[in-house]
Amino acid sequence: MLEAIDLVKCYGPVRALDEFSLHVDAGEIVGLVGHNGAGKTTFVEIVSYLTRPDSGHVTIDGKPPSAVKGQVGVAPQHIALYPSVSVREHLELFGKLAGLRGQALTTAIDDIVVALRLGDFIDRHAAVLSGGQQRRTQAATALIHRPALLLLDEPTAGADLETRQAMLDVVKQRAGEGAAVVYTTHYLPELTELKATIAVVRNGRVIARGTHEELVDGLPGEVQLTFDNEEEITVSTTHPANTLIDLLSREDRPISTVDVRNPSLDDLYRSLAVSNAP
Amino acid sequence: MLLDTPHTQHRVEPPPSTGALDTLRGAAYRIGALAKHNTLIRLRDPGQMISYVAMPMVLMLVLKPLYVRAVEGGATQVATGLMVMFSVFAISIAGNAILVERTWRTWDRLRASRAPATELLLGKTLPIFVVMVVQQSILLVYGCLVIGLPIPRAPQYVVFAIAIWAFALLSIGAALATIVRSHGELSVISDVGALTLSSLGGALVPLSIMPDWAQVAAHISPGYWALTMMQAAVRGDAAGTLAPAGVLLAIGLVAGTFAVRRLTRGWGRGHLL
């Protein structure tokens, strides 16, 4: 569905994308993770035809972004809503701009209102919505026309629990229906819940790509024992369960709590991106 | 539709390449949606528009005795002059309407839609165009009924003149919005610049009593051409209306084309304040 090959994009002396390549299949959710300034947003802007790459190329379903302009669902990183316009009016505008009309538009609005739980505030102006409600409204304007490619740039940044869950549910549903999804985030556990494949971006290029298991396998987790006298032992290990058994067999002090943390995506993020950041 | 998901039950309009008629229909639909949307925004904050109707009415009434004593045809001068002067503020309205999309970060959302920059600009400025035509019509009727402006012999010329002037102003406002970096900059350029140019054009002080150099310099002001056109239209002078209309049309086309080209590219991250 989405194929990006060797994209390069410079803003003055800053090389935002440096031979960035990514492939996303229909029905696949790809989580783009990386530190701020890694190039995630620039990639989203190129795919949505807001910015042209200096070199390299992108195809969406075999076509360049210019040929499918407006048919990709884009939810940008920053809230971009009209303060004095209601949620319903936003949906009508973006639905119409996507080509929906008449009953199809009404049905699309009804569907997305239910899916993203917008019903309680649909007639309120964007200016008076909470941050989470604004996030959901923004996502709804990107999803209303059921695009086959979704670009969601940190859609849950600063969002409350309800917003996050609603967003994840809809993304899973749309991917289940066959949409390709590019989901940039700093909240790595979300990618686990979405069963997303992960692309780690650093300095404008994808430096690791794979499933959660493929990328996390071999990373250290932690075992922590806290004793009654409030002393603690923390062991970093690639085999937390075995390490715990070993520790328990050797310790004869009374233990108050045991904490086992398996390797997580956060560990991957740190090991690949943060620790190697320039 | 290639890019719809398999389970979609929604009808997505075919892409623009399916035929000329479909392209036109799709464009008209999107421009209509954008115009409705921008009308809503404008109606929810109408203060600026109301003041640009009320202020010239008051000033026409107050300044009429002065103009009538100062020049022949003083009533025509005060009415048409203030019509032109207060229409120039449309530059600021149009410019701010576009610039605020940048503040709200909504312009890129619109750019990512199917609508090209021309449609976005048309959808944005159509409601302001209507507002301007209504404002000028109200002032014209007020001028005839209260100030003593002669009733136009050929109203169609006046409507034509108002439409051309509105087009030129909105194009200039749109072009300005694409080159300034903030509302402050736009305010300085549009308010000071517009007042200077309309004054220089003879909208405030009749050209006949201005210094010789100012009468020559007036020709570089769109306000001069607007005033000349408007006064000719009120007189029912077709040739006198068309010549300045041509100049204003050219200014509008150049500014409008420039605005579309700039808006197609967007502001870019490097240029945000």
**SS3 annotation, B119-187:** HHHHHHHHHHHHHHHHHHHHHHHHHHHHHCCCCCCCHHHHHHHHHHHHHHHHHHHHHHHHHCCCHHHHH
Q: What is the ipTM of this complex?
A: 0.80
Which residues from chain A sit within 8 angstroms of residue B28, using beta carbons?
A: none
Res A246 pLDDT > 70 = yes
Any domain includes B8 = no
**Residue B62 scores a pLDDT above 70:** yes
**Residues B105 and B267 sit within 8 Å (Cβ to Cβ):** no
Statement: residue A201 has pLDDT above 60? yes
pLDDT of residue B268: 57
State the first-to-last Cα distance of chain A, in angstroms, to the nearest integer. Answer: 33
Residue B273 lies in a domain: no
Task: Please report whether residue B119 resides in a domain.
Answer: yes
Looking at residue A259, its pLDDT comes to: 87
Of A78, A93, A104, the CB nearest to B105: A78
More confident of the two residues B273 and A116: A116
Question: What is the β-pairing status of strands A55-60 and A2-11?
Answer: antiparallel
Report if residue B89 sits inside a domain: yes
Question: Mean pLDDT, chain A, as a whole number?
Answer: 87
Interchain CB contact of B26 with A (< 8 Å): yes
pLDDT in tens, B183-209: 888 888 887 887 887 888 888 888 888
Domain count, chain B: 1
Residue with token string 């006949």? B208
Q: Provide the 3-class DSSP secondary structure of residue B247.
A: helix
Helix (H, G, I), strand (E, B) or coil at B197: helix
pLDDT in the model for residue A96: 95
Domain that holds residue B122: 20-268
Q: Testing the interface with B: which of A50, A51, A79, A154 to mutate, by most B Cβ within 10 A?
A: A50
Residue B48 domain flag: yes
- Closest CA in chain B for residue A104: B10
Alpha carbons B113 and B63: distance in angstroms, whole number? 49
- The two tokens of residue A192 are 């686990």
- What pairing do the DSSP bridges indicate for beta strands A2-11 and A197-202? unpaired
Distance from the Cα of B103 to chain A's closest Cα (Å) equals 9
- As a CATH number, domain A1-72+147-218 is 3.40.50.300
CB nearest to B30's CB, from A97, A108, A177 = A97
Nearest CA-CA distance, residue B247 and chain A, Å: 35
Residue B249: name the closest of B170, B156, B189, B131 by CA: B170
Q: CB–CB of A81 and B106 under 8 A?
A: yes
> Is residue B4 situated within a structural domain?
no
